Amino acid sequence: MSETDFYAGYGAWKNYETPSLKAKHIAQLDRDVWRPAQMRADHTVLEIGCGTGQVLAYLAHKGVRDFVGIDQDPKLAEVIPASARGHFIATPVEKFLAEDSRSFDRILMFDVLEHFSPSLGAELLKLLRARLKPEGALVIKLPNMSSPWGMQHQFGDLTHRAAYTPGSLRQLCASCGYDEVACHAQITGSPFRRLADPLVHRLFGRLIMTPPEIWSANFIAVVHRGGI
């Protein structure tokens, strides 16, 4: 028997549609990405696996002019928001890196790294490190396998090939030459839930022997390029 290609029909399963960019989305991305990664409008930015383009629309909203988003599914071109459509390229990451020699201040990968095996993920991170400017950084979002809440995200997609905790991501990045990995929780939901979650997790942390470093279902890492 041959293995099933779960990417066949992936777009239909994901039900691609043009995303909105509301005030709540902007506030979330400000908390998750813009401030932790110290991003600026004059940065050059690459997003790998940009999907339907919400983050690209966010970058346009923030006044970033030099940015590009790539994804391997050409059908996504039909749903990328108008403000970012000219910045989208349908191409596999390997082909893009082979054909485009630019370097970037920030490279974003949201829900992408888990689609590669650990060894292929390491190869990708090494290639990306060579494309970061000296003060550049990766911003990576992943399901948090140190938390019980992360399992629904990790195992809810059959195309996932690797699972990470903040600790194992640091191990992967260290093996690729990066020198600093700052991990933080992705806190989502209503203002009430953003207040209640830390209280509940603090209580859980007192009841179990080995609480996780980060409780949220997903975590975000800002990974600095390190020495030349």
Give domain limits for the chain.
10-224
* Amino acid found at 33: V
Give residues with Cβ within 8 angstroms of 21, minimum separation 6: 54, 57, 58, 61, 81
Torsion on CA atoms 193, 216, 153, 34, rounded to nearest 10: 90
Per-residue CA distances from 193 to 23, 158, 227 (Å):
17, 29, 40
Question: Looking at residue 228, what is its pLDDT?
Answer: 56
Question: Looking at residue 151, what is its pLDDT?
Answer: 95
**Residue with more model confidence, 226 or 196:** 196
pLDDT in tens, 74-127: 999 999 999 999 999 999 999 999 999 999 999 999 999 999 999 999 999 999
Name the average pLDDT for the chain: 94
| Mean pLDDT value across residues 139-156 | 96
Reported confidence tier of residue 6, pLDDT bands at 50, 70, 90: confident
- Considering the four listed CATH numbers 3.60.15.10, 3.40.50.720, 3.40.50.150, 1.25.10.10, the one that applies to the domain covering 10-224 is 3.40.50.150
Tokens of 135: 């003060």
Give residues with Cβ within 8 angstroms of 115, minimum separation 6: 49, 159, 160, 161
For the chain, what is the radius of gyration of the CA atoms? Answer: 18
Q: Pairing between strand 218-224 and 104-110? A: unpaired
Question: Looking at residue 10, what is its pLDDT?
Answer: 87
Question: Looking at residue 226, what is its pLDDT?
Answer: 79
Question: Looking at residue 8, what is its pLDDT?
Answer: 84
* Amino acid found at 164: Y
Provide the 10 A C-beta neighbour count for residue 7: 13
Tokens of 46: 């690459």
pTM for this prediction = 0.94
pLDDT in tens, 179-212: 899 999 998 888 888 888 888 888 888 888 999 9
Percent of the chain at pLDDT above 70?
A: 99
Q: How many whole angstroms separate alpha carbon 193 and alpha carbon 170?
A: 28
Pair 185, 194: CB distance under 8 Å: no
Question: Looking at residue 109, what is its pLDDT?
Answer: 98
Reported confidence tier of residue 216, pLDDT bands at 50, 70, 90: very high
Per-residue CA distances from 215 to 112, 153, 203 (Å):
20, 14, 12
